[in-house]
Structure 1
Amino acid sequence: MYPERIFHNGDVFTADAAAGRAQAIAVAGGKFVAVGGDLDVKGLAGPGTELVDLRGRMLLPGIVDVHNHHLRGGQSDLYELKLLPTMSLDAVIEAVRARCAATNPGEWVFGGIWGSHLVEAIGRAGALAALDAVSAAHPVMLRDDSQHNRWVNSCALKLIGITADTPNPPDGEILRDAGTGAATGLLLERASGLAEQAVERSIPDLAARNKASCRRAVEILNGFGVTAFQDATTVLPFLEALAALDRAGELNGWCVTSLPGQRTLSGADLVGDALIARRETYRTRHVRPDFIKLFMDGVPTTRTAAMLTPYRATRLQGCCFCGDPLISIPALVRWIAKAEQYGMRVKVHCTGDAAVRDTLDAVDVVRSFNGPDDGAGPVHQIAHAGFVDPADIPRFRALNVAADLSPIIWYPGPIQQAIRAAMPDERADCYWPLRDLHEAGALLAAGSDWPVVANPDPWLGIEGMITRRNPKGGYDGALWPEQALDLETVLRIYTINAARAMGLSALTGSIEAGKSADFIVVDRDLFATAPERLSQSKVLSTWFEGRCVHEAS
């Protein structure tokens, strides 16, 4: 069998430690069949083989995004009001006014994202009055840049059924006016699910919208060079959309899903054992329901991350508040043990160092009674892993736990400003110890957390990991520059490492004979590009299983 295509005269970064760099690849039957020098690989050509001259351009494995909310991202692109986290409160209000003017009365206006720096202002009654003034005929729901909190207007509060007497849901808070007790419209953590459920009830054909959103999301991901991704919180409707798309032959990427073990921020009804029991119904060639998603804490911007040291003092929380974990260590031990019994893994959301320590402790317990891990067992993930106590850094490798990183979130910008407002500077700035984790041998994998960020552009994260600066500019200084990494390490973090963390490394993540022909061609030699210009890199073409699924115009 001759190769269908041979790509030659290129600079091939294989992400395969044994092979290093190459000049050419051959593809047949959706897989790489040869990788090497031009003469050797071109010698495999047959009468029907297409020869593609790369003209010296760089070819590398498809990007693997270890953490996104792809369907939400597609939905945002197709249907939602778009805000920027840098907008002022007045600018957000004006955007809502314009969207309401173009929307039929009574229809929901929803979207995001507003910046964490607005939390304090939005929590006041005056902000609700300003929102109501421009949206009286429409229920409104706006997500913040952590996706953990929602801002709604009075019309939405009425539709949701929130009054001054409505109790807070477990692990959530309906923010109230200190004087009157009336809801201010700010819903924190699990209270956000009340608003999300109300929006979903208003959509006539939710299944069709979900499938369209899923399709659009994968198109966007392919455009940035992504050929495999892990959806970080996959509720049943999302799982149904993914499986339907793949069975129709329309899913151009590998997708590992993370089935929520707890109530989610979206307010999904089916979670935990009942959802996990149905997972095999939706397993397809490209959809792998192999993870359970758990939340150990919230986010530092609203002081809901579980920390080892206190936040800045406030009138309500005093001087010694550190946040609280959402799951006890014994309960987490039971979840991890159950996952391993099912042949699954866990992805645990941890934004605070106390949450990270508790999760490592729980994994340690499971490892102790399931036998020592030899590196071939289940690789569990700690999602975000931004604040990590130095004593816990070596434990990632020792316990075979991957650090799921979110580089596009943390470099200097609105979220980091909000964290500095909540935490002492010296603690807030010791954020994302990437070099320390790497040098300790931890498995590092990178994700976008889209649509927490506006788009899943990996090149922003690649540059940020190397420069520790905001690639878009506008914010002075670098965040803990001693933790910078080199380009080759970062490219592995975005390819083979992420595939390994997701359980896909036998299929994809590197350019090796026998693996899926998932690769991209970029417009520059990344290793000859100044670090501060890496974010300008463009993907010329994206190939999934040997098919071109994106080509730059």
Structure 2
Amino acid sequence: MQESIPAWLGAVVLCALCANAPAADGQADTILTNGRIYTLSSEQPEAEALAIRAGVITAVGDMDTVTDTAGPHTQRIDLDGKVVLPGFHDMHVHPLFAGVRQTECTIAQGSTLEQIQHEVQGCIDRTDAGGWITGGQWDAHAIGQVPDRFMLDSISPDNPVLLSDTSGHSAWANSRALAVAGVTADTPDPEGGIIERDSTGEPTGILRESAIMLVRMHVPPHSLEALRKALKWSLDQMLSHGITSFTEASTGFVAGMAREAELYAEMADAGLLRQRARLCLNWEPDNPELEAVIADRNLYARTNVATDCIKIFLDGVPTDSHTAAMLEPYALPMEGRDDEASRYGMLLVDQDILDEAVTRFDWMGLTVKFHAAGDAAVRAGLNAFEAARAANGFSGQLHDVGHCTFVSREDLPRARALGATFEVSPYLWSPSPINDDISKEVGDERTRRVWPVREMIEAGALVVPGSDWAVVPSVNPWIAVEALVTREAPGGSEKHFGKEQAISLDQAIRLFTVNSAKHLGMSDKVGRIEPGLLADLIVLDRDPYNIPVTELHQVRVEKTMINGTVVYQVN
């Protein structure tokens, strides 16, 4: 944290402060008029105008009431009938990874083997001899089988190749990459990971969970300038979709925890990070880097950057990898394997170790976010929260169980009882290769309850959404809003995914606003449009409440405001 900020960055911050200077004599800095404002407030659900001073909403109401707050220096924005909503929150996203992924070998989701080989060949042609080829995203269901290293060797005998699957929890390496990493038949499976092997014990090239790091650690690191550009690109993308705050759900995945936390702090100091960001630090037992960053977390914190969240992976994903931990066995056996893990998946952390870690973090005032896709993993996470509450009482920390692809009915009421949050992944719900894979592996009966949001809400749980971008192609939340309401492909489809768990449009929008603000402990600052709350607002090109639900994915953000300042405007 000793690197100084260049002088020009200080000038950016100064200019931003000047732009927010309030108008004189208590008059509004900005008024928005002639619109349809959905406040999400029970006291005044709709309005046609609002006023802002010093980044705070000061008036919400009719045109006359708001216009009376304006003066000669007030900026006046005519909405021309457009809709205004509170800014959206993305509670599970990977901006740095998404930006870096843009520079890598990109494979369209659902690509066949021939399409993947063609794309990889093009990447090789643009890469130095012997250079690494990294990227993604492949899917075994779309390929028609679990791939192996020889399929990549045929086009890349000399360049090491490492490609992530659509979930990010499996990777596909060629023989050259395995050789560089020293992964052989004699290499044991790492704790929490699997090296897939053929009948002779040789690695097939498929690596699951922590085994991916055996190869990834040999990929050359990105330069600091490349990381800056990658993060800036992603932040701009999110602003264009009206995302005014977010949770970086895996800090340290790309470049290490300290380096990434410092990068966010630097971007905030430079005025290049406009959103409110919460960083979740990747946990593993006895990790000195994690302990150092936790100890120094206040050095990385900024007004809009919090480093008070810990990310713990409890399992993997319920795809062909069978790494999500399930209470009942998978519907299909794994080819070449018949062990406990292949039938029920993998819990990556013993319950007693998990209970101890969560209790400690809760006592320290840190929030815990779990990756838990299978119902056994969700139960383990709730058990850990229960242990923390028993030891510490209610600390005020609203911990969350992330993804929640499958949740036992018996566990649904526990979230409310424990003051915990279910974080779900509606961006993943459109019928797609990964969901076809999930349905195939777990069977139709469990698929009917996949991501049981309706049941969660009925049980009184606090539910929030996360994109998991760049696991999904787009960070656009309106794709997810439509999926929450229809459980179909964008635009509608005969095929659906967990149709019985669909919710209303108003419920879906509240997940991104009111609920997310509550989970962050910021209900008194954001999430609604009321006097006294911060002016985090989005202006839309159409009214989502007055269009067919199958058109929700077409909603576009025309303007994004944070603290009353326009940070994105179309064109």
**Length-normalised TM-score, structure 1:** 0.93
- Secondary structure of residue in 1 paired with 2:343: coil
Q: What amino acid does structure 2 have at the position aligned with 1:138?
A: N
Q: Distance in 1 between matches of 2:158 and 2:29?
A: 58
**In the alignment, structure 1 residue 378 sits paired with structure 2 residue 400:** no
CA-to-aligned-CA distance 1:136-181 (integer Å, 9 cap, x gap): 33222211111111112222222222222222211111222222x2
Which residue is 1:504 aligned to? 522
Structure 1 123/397 Cα, relative in aligned 2: closer, same or farther at 3 Å?
same
Q: Distance in 1 between matches of 2:350 and 2:42?
A: 40
Which residue is 1:229 aligned to? 246
Which residue is 2:72 aligned to? 47
Query: Which of 275, 282, 296 is the matching residue for 1:278?
Result: 296
Query: Which of 92, 116, 120 is the matching residue for 1:67?
Result: 92
Query: Which of 418, 425, 428 is the matching residue for 2:444?
Result: 425
Identity across the alignment (%): 35
Bigger Cα displacement from structure 2, 225-234 vs 184-193 = 184-193
Which residue is 1:103 aligned to? 127
Shift of 1:32: 1.8
**In the alignment, structure 1 residue 131 sits paired with structure 2 residue 131:** no
Which residue is 2:343 aligned to? 321
Structure 1 119/397 Cα, relative in aligned 2: closer, same or farther at 3 Å?
farther
Q: Distance in 1 between matches of 2:339 and 2:59?
A: 63
Shift of 1:417: 0.9
Shift of 1:269: 7.1
- Secondary structure of residue in 2 paired with 1:430: coil
Shift of 1:218: 0.4
Structure 1 411/166 Cα, relative in aligned 2: closer, same or farther at 3 Å?
same
CA-to-aligned-CA distance 1:356-401 (integer Å, 9 cap, x gap): 1121122122222323x4xx82111000112011111111111111
Shift of 1:549: 1.7
Which residue is 1:459 aligned to? 478
Alpha carbons 1:15, 1:510 under 8 Å: kept: yes
Structure 1 514/270 Cα, relative in aligned 2: closer, same or farther at 3 Å?
farther
Q: What amino acid does structure 2 have at the position aligned with 1:388?
A: V
Shift of 1:272: 3.8
Which residue is 1:189 aligned to? 209
Query: Which of 412, 423, 440 is the matching residue for 2:431?
Result: 412
Q: Distance in 1 between matches of 2:498 and 2:205?
A: 36
Shift of 1:271: 4.8
Shift of 1:194: 2.5
Alpha carbons 2:449, 2:500 under 8 Å: kept: no
Which residue is 1:485 aligned to? 503
- Secondary structure of residue in 1 paired with 2:116: helix
Alpha carbons 1:336, 1:366 under 8 Å: kept: yes
**In the alignment, structure 1 residue 399 sits paired with structure 2 residue 418:** yes
Q: Distance in 1 between matches of 2:486 and 2:528?
A: 25
Q: Distance in 2 between matches of 1:233 and 1:378?
A: 19
Bigger Cα displacement from structure 2, 543-552 vs 381-390 = 543-552
Query: Which of 542, 546, 560 is the matching residue for 1:528?
Result: 546
Q: What amino acid does structure 2 have at the position aligned with 1:490?
A: A
Q: Distance in 1 between matches of 2:36 and 2:220?
A: 48
Q: What amino acid does structure 1 have at the position aligned with 2:499?
A: P
Question: Aligned Cα RMSD in Å?
Answer: 2.0
Alpha carbons 2:447, 2:497 under 8 Å: kept: no
Query: Which of 27, 30, 38 is the matching residue for 1:13?
Result: 38
The runs of 5 or more residues in structure 2 that have no matched partner are: 1-25
Query: Which of 369, 372, 378 is the matching residue for 1:356?
Result: 378
Query: Which of 148, 170, 174 is the matching residue for 1:149?
Result: 170
Alpha carbons 2:422, 2:463 under 8 Å: kept: yes
Q: What amino acid does structure 2 have at the position aligned with 1:470?
A: A
Shift of 1:512: 2.4
Alpha carbons 1:66, 1:404 under 8 Å: kept: yes
Shift of 1:6: 0.3
Q: What amino acid does structure 1 have at the position aligned with 2:482?
A: E
Q: Distance in 1 between matches of 2:176 and 2:488?
A: 41
Shift of 1:318: 6.2
Q: Distance in 1 between matches of 2:289 and 2:465?
A: 26
Shift of 1:324: 2.9
Shift of 1:123: 4.0
Q: Distance in 1 between matches of 2:70 and 2:237?
A: 33
CA-to-aligned-CA distance 1:11-69 (integer Å, 9 cap, x gap): 11122333322211112222222222221111100110111111111001111000001
Which residue is 1:115 aligned to? 139
Shift of 1:270: 5.4
Query: Which of 92, 95, 99 is the matching residue for 2:116?
Result: 92
Bigger Cα displacement from structure 2, 283-292 vs 320-329 = 320-329
Q: Distance in 1 between matches of 2:139 and 2:337?
A: 22
Deviation >4 Å, runs of 4+: 268-271
Shift of 1:133: 2.3
Structure 1 483/428 Cα, relative in aligned 2: closer, same or farther at 3 Å?
closer
**Length-normalised TM-score, structure 2:** 0.90
Alpha carbons 2:111, 2:142 under 8 Å: kept: no
Shift of 1:197: 2.0
- Secondary structure of residue in 2 paired with 1:146: coil
**In the alignment, structure 1 residue 299 sits paired with structure 2 residue 317:** yes
